[in-house]
């Protein structure tokens, strides 16, 4: 069974390379489009640089190309630097839990292609625009969403998504169809399709994808299979809308 899983993961990895995921050659707008096309961004919190590195590789092998390393993880800056070098042509690496422009700049210098925050910080948005990096601030209310978008956010993170649900995304997209939204917090393989169908550009998935047991056991095959399952779920959800 394990050998079969390995073969499946290898085929998935080859498929995504054939589909043109040479992300190191992408400019900012192409990277943003790639995140939206994928439908899933992994949100990773880990205990060490080594753990972050192999987890990112396992997820990328499964087709999850948007990888957000939270700045609350030990050695996050070093991990962003290492993973960017290791997976520079396979994944789009971002920094999460960024609270201020200073932290955003540090993450950019380490190699982050996108910056994600839990709330709206106008100075953080400004510095990301200055250096032409994708910026995704967090918001909870319509007022916060509009404030972030008008300030230049590329996507607005709806957080925590579990408190609002897919219907909130649909309701916001009614009067604000131009605003890209990414629900994060409580998203899993069972509800990601509902969020995408409601109008989300992509979803952010944490522990439901970055399985704690698989990480503890250093089971990269299991993580890669989970990543492939999430990408397939997103593809099917999008297909049902066509």
Q: Which residues of 40-51 are buried (b: 16+ CB within 10 A; e: fewer)?
A: bbbbbbbeebeb
Exactly one of 68, 90, 133, 225 is catalytic; name it. 68
The two structure tokens encoding residue 193? 């399709």
* Number of Cβ within a 10 Å radius of residue 210: 23
- Counting the structural domains of the chain, the total is 1
Look up 157 and say whether it is catalytic.
Answer: yes
Distances (CA, A) of 22 to 13, 16, 146: 12, 10, 33
Residues in the chain, overall count: 242
Gap between the terminal Cα atoms of the chain = 35
CATH number, domain at 154?
Answer: 3.20.20.70
pLDDT for 23 equals: 56
Strands 156-158 and 203-205: unpaired
Exactly one of 65, 133, 157, 225 is catalytic; name it. 157
pLDDT for 49 equals: 87
3-state SS string over the chain?
CHHHHHHHHHHHHHHHHHCCCCHHHCCHHHHHHHHHHHCEEEEECCCCHHHHHHHHHHHHHCCCCEEEEECCCCCHHHHHHHHHHHCCCCCEEEEECCCCHHHHHHHHHHCCCEEECCCCCHHHHHHHHHCCCEEECEECCHHHHHHHHHCCCCCEEECCHHHCCHHHHHHHHCCCCCCCEEEECCCCCCCHHHHHHCCCCCEEECCCCCCHHHHHCCCHHHHHHHHHHHHHHHHHHHHHHC
Residue-level pLDDT, tens digit, the chain, 242 residues: 444 333 434 344 444 444 444 555 789 999 999 999 999 999 999 888 899 899 999 999 999 999 999 999 989 999 999 999 888 778 999 999 999 999 999 999 999 999 999 999 999 999 999 999 999 999 999 999 999 999 999 999 999 998 899 999 999 999 999 999 999 999 999 999 999 999 999 999 999 999 999 999 999 999 999 999 999 999 999 998 76
Say if residues 47 and 74 touch (Cβ distance below 8 Å).
yes
Segments forming the whole domain that contains residue 175? 2-241
**Closest C-alpha to 226, from 43, 5, 39, 67:** 5
């Amino acid at each position: 069974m394990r050998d079969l899983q390995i073969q499946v993961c290898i085929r998935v990895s080859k498929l995504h390379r054939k589909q043109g995921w040479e992300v190191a050659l992408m400019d900012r707008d192409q990277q943003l489009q790639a995140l939206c096309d994928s439908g899933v961004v992994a949100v990773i919190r880990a205990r060490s640089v080594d753990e972050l590195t192999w987890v990112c590789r396992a997820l990328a092998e499964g087709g999850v190309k948007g990888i957000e390393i939270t700045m609350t993880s030990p050695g996050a800056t070093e991990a962003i630097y290492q993973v960017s070098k290791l997976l520079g042509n396979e994944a789009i690496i971002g920094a999460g839990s960024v609270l201020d422009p200073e932290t955003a700049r540090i993450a950019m210098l380490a190699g982050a292609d996108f910056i994600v925050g839990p709330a709206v910080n106008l100075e953080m948005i400004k510095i990301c625009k200055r250096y032409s990096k994708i910026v995704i601030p967090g918001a909870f209310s319509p007022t916060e969403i509009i404030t972030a978008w008008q300030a230049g956010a590329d996507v607005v993170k709806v957080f925590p998504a579990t408190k609002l649900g897919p219907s909130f995304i649909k309701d916001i997209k009614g009067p604000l169809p131009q605003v890209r939204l990414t629900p994060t917090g409580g998203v899993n393989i069972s509800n990601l399709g509902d969020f995408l169908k409601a109008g989300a550009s992509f979803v952010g998935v944490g522990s439901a994808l970055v399985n704690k047991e698989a990480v503890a056991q250093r089971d990269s095959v299991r993580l890669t299979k989970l990543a492939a399952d999430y990408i397939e779920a997103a593809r099917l959800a999008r297909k049902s809308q066509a």
